[in-house]
């Protein structure tokens, strides 16, 4: 496995392997990331994992400085599952000058996660477009746990006619249902035992919707109360259309239930796709 830090070195290395698939990450690699790499590997001649903690997508209250940087351990894990290249640029390499040209997603960037974290998706879309330009992958893999991010990036690729296939991989869960995330490591043992409730609550909403309930607002309020009763601080639990994350109409059948809530310090995200 090659560990590459500069764009010049990356371009020179990839010249002979054009058919590559990119897995963009911010590092602190866990089982969920490894599944994305497994998804990528059979789809191209070379799997490139980028590791870059992107300041542009963090808000003033988000903990950019404290985001875990674990490059050596990450490389060991990635090597063990056959990743070909780790591209780990530093900030000066990725942003050699102030990034005044940015990608401004429009439509869903200011609802749900975008409402809680203004400017977040601009930062995500900008860095991902830059990574696409640097790596020039034929495809890129993203995890559905960050559902809204997936939609933002799919739309960017489609509307800007990027020659990159966007592949979405299913959320990886612990045995008790908790969606894997770098943030889980900040849960205390008591919080970790409580954490699977978020997935359970989404499942309860999904079951009610599947059995024909259209009173989404009531279901959302009940789910929110259920979490609050167990010490969570929910930002949203909501039933949306999959295509654009707007409120569903009665005849919409492809839905997703999204939830985000703080448990202690960590803020956990999860979602569940359903077809009715």
Contact positions vs ligand PAF (CB under 6 A): 24-26, 54, 57, 124, 127-128, 146, 149
CA distances from 42 to 45, 83, 254 (A): 8, 11, 29
To the nearest whole angstrom, how small is the minimum distance from the Cβ of residue 126 to ligand PAF?
9
To the nearest whole angstrom, how small is the minimum distance from the Cβ of residue 16 to ligand PAF?
26
Contact 195, 174 (CB under 8 A): no
Q: Which position among 5, 30, 33, 214 bears the catalytic label?
A: 33
Nearest CB to ligand PAF, comparing residues 54 and 271: 54
To the nearest whole angstrom, how small is the minimum distance from the Cβ of residue 142 to ligand PAF?
6
DSSP state of 43: G
Task: Give percent helix, percent strand, percent coil of the chain, each to the nearest 5.
Answer: 40, 20, 40
Question: How many other C-beta atoms are found inside a 10 Å radius of the C-beta of residue 242?
Answer: 17
Nearest CB to ligand PAF, comparing residues 124 and 261: 124
Q: Phi first, then psi: what are they for 206, rounded to 5°?
A: -60, -45
Nearest CB to ligand PAF, comparing residues 24 and 248: 24
Q: Phi first, then psi: what are they for 119, rounded to 5°?
A: 85, -10
33 is a catalytic site residue: yes
Nearest CB to ligand PAF, comparing residues 70 and 213: 70
To the nearest whole angstrom, how small is the minimum distance from the Cβ of residue 220 to ligand PAF?
25
Half-sphere exposure for 182 (CA within 13 Å, toward CB): 16
List residues with catalytic annotation.
33
């Amino acid at each position: 496995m090659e560990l590459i830090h500069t764009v010049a070195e990356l371009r020179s290395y990839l010249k002979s392997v054009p058919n590559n698939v990119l897995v963009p990450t911010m590092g602190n690699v866990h089982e969920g990331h490894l599944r994305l790499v497994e998804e990528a590997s059979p789809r191209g001649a070379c799997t490139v994992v980028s590791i870059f903690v992107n300041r542009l997508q963090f808000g003033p209250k988000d903990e950019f400085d404290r985001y875990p940087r674990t490059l050596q351990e990450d490389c060991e894990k990635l090597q063990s599952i056959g990743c070909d290249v780790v591209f780990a640029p530093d900030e000066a390499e990725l942003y050699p000058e102030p990034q005044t040209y940015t990608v401004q997603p429009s439509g869903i960037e200011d609802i749900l996660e975008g409402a809680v974290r203004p400017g977040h998706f601009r930062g995500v879309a900008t860095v991902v477009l830059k990574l696409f330009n640097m790596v020039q992958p034929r495809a890129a893999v993203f995890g559905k746990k960050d559902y809204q991010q997936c939609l933002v990036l799919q739309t960017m690729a489609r509307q800007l006619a990027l020659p990159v296939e966007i592949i979405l991989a299913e959320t990886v869960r612990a045995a008790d249902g908790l969606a894997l995330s770098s943030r889980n490591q900040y849960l205390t043992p008591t919080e970790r035992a409580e954490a699977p409730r978020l997935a359970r609550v989404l499942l309860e909403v999904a079951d009610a919707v599947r059995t024909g309930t259209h009173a989404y607002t009531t279901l959302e309020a009940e789910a929110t109360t259920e979490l609050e009763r167990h010490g969570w601080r929910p930002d949203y639990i909501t039933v949306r259309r999959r295509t654009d994350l707007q409120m569903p109409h009665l005849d919409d059948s492809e839905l997703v239930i999204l939830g985000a809530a703080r448990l202690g310090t960590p803020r956990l995200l999860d979602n569940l796709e359903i077809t009715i």
